[in-house]
Amino acid sequence: MSIDFWDPHFHIWDITENTKSSHDFQQLFAPANKPIYSCYDYENDMQYKDHSFQHTGGAFIEAMSVCHIDSFGSKYEDFCINETSWASNELKKSPKQYVLISSAPLESPNLNKILSKLSNYPYVCGIRQILNHNPSWPRNSVMGDLLDNEKWKDGFGKLGNYNFSFELQLNPNQYQKALNIIKDYPDTKVIINHLGTPKLDDIQKSKNLFWESMKKFSQYNNVFMKISMLSYIMKDWEDSEIVNEAVNRIIEIFGINNCFFASNFPVESNFGWDINRLLDAFKKIARNYNIDEKNKLFSTNAMSAYNVKIIP
């Protein structure tokens, strides 16, 4: 029996000199030396070694919030629209089920105009703006901690007007600030990216900031957990008892209906993880779950979180 894999976290991009997507060659890379990593390339990378996994689509996740660290205002806002337009055209080429998570500067005074434009693209169902600060992902070394920015907080509150979800990518030292914001917006779905981007030290102690905060996040019905980028914790994690136990503990905390596996391609492939290795490692984590629970972790939970029609 095969298991569907609906992948809720992948990227495609164009870092050529004349890019129409506005992606930044200084921050991104050329997978397999290809400056254009297309939907076709991504789907080829998703071909598992046998028929036990069938890739059925997924959620394109923006990369613009790590790009153009010196660009702000209308210029950067145009970059976000350009990425969405280019990615939409790529996804249209495939018969598989896709959604698109755009980027938008939630602190912008033009936010309503930006969100309105993005809502006109049929694939778009949510927003990601990377928040990691200290240690900072590229743009946040300039912008600071957006969770302290009152304009950003106001912008977060506008997502519900467009029925947009939010991809929450941040550091453990920012968790409480995020909790203080999302508690006021129970109708806005929040998908925590990459297990909350912990480091090894964060997951090793049974009682600490990471685990206590995970319990707090799990109390909200609108918060979901994306299990991905585990190589951020440990490069070769598949045989790590610590990492495997941590993931199963996360699933126990959030519940089997609120967690899902994701590839994070092509980033993970750049760290030596092809799809065979990655899905085998996820399969190992899920080995004690029944077939219905496995289907939830590999496809149906994510599809439900992103409002994708589940075809029996």
Say which residue, 137 or 145, is predicted with more confidence.
145
Residue 53 in any domain: the answer is: yes
What's the CA gap between 6 and 303, in Å, rounded? Answer: 7
Q: What is the pTM of this model?
A: 0.96
**Residues of the chain above pLDDT 70, percent:** 99
Residue 94 in any domain: the answer is: yes
How many alpha carbons lie under 13 Å from residue 295 in its C-beta half-sphere?
11
Condensed to tens digits (0 to 9), the pLDDT of residues 221-280 reads 999 999 999 999 999 999 999 999 999 999 999 999 999 999 999 999 999 999 999 999
Residue 311 in any domain: the answer is: no
Tokens representing residue 51 in the block? 């028929």
| pLDDT score for 256 | 98
| pLDDT score for 7 | 99
Residue 310 in any domain: the answer is: no
Tell me the chain's radius of gyration from C-alpha atoms: 18
Residue 310 has pLDDT above 90, yes or no: no
Count: domains in the chain = 1
Residue 192 in any domain: the answer is: yes
What's the CA gap between 270 and 273, in Å, rounded? Answer: 7
> What is the arrangement of strands in the sheet containing 223-227, beginning at the earlier edge strand?
3-10, 53-61, 97-102, 124-128, 165-168, 190-192, 223-227, 259-261
Residue 176 in any domain: the answer is: yes
| DSSP symbol at 230 | G
Whether 12 and 265 have beta carbons less than 8 Å apart is answered as no
Residue 312 in any domain: the answer is: no
Helix ranges restricted to H, the chain: 39-45, 73-91, 111-119, 140-143, 150-157, 175-182, 200-204, 209-218, 241-254, 267-270, 275-285, 291-295, 301-305
| pLDDT score for 312 | 64
Residue 280 structural domain:
3-305
| DSSP symbol at 8 | E
Kind of pairing between the strands at 190-192 and 165-168 = parallel
CATH label of the domain that carries residue 142: 3.20.20.140
Kind of pairing between the strands at 13-14 and 36-37 = antiparallel
Query: pLDDT tier at 138 (50, 70, 90 boundaries)?
Result: confident
Residue 289 in any domain: the answer is: yes
In the predicted model, what is the mean pLDDT of residues 173-177?
Answer: 98
Query: pLDDT tier at 46 (50, 70, 90 boundaries)?
Result: very high
Whether 265 and 46 have beta carbons less than 8 Å apart is answered as yes
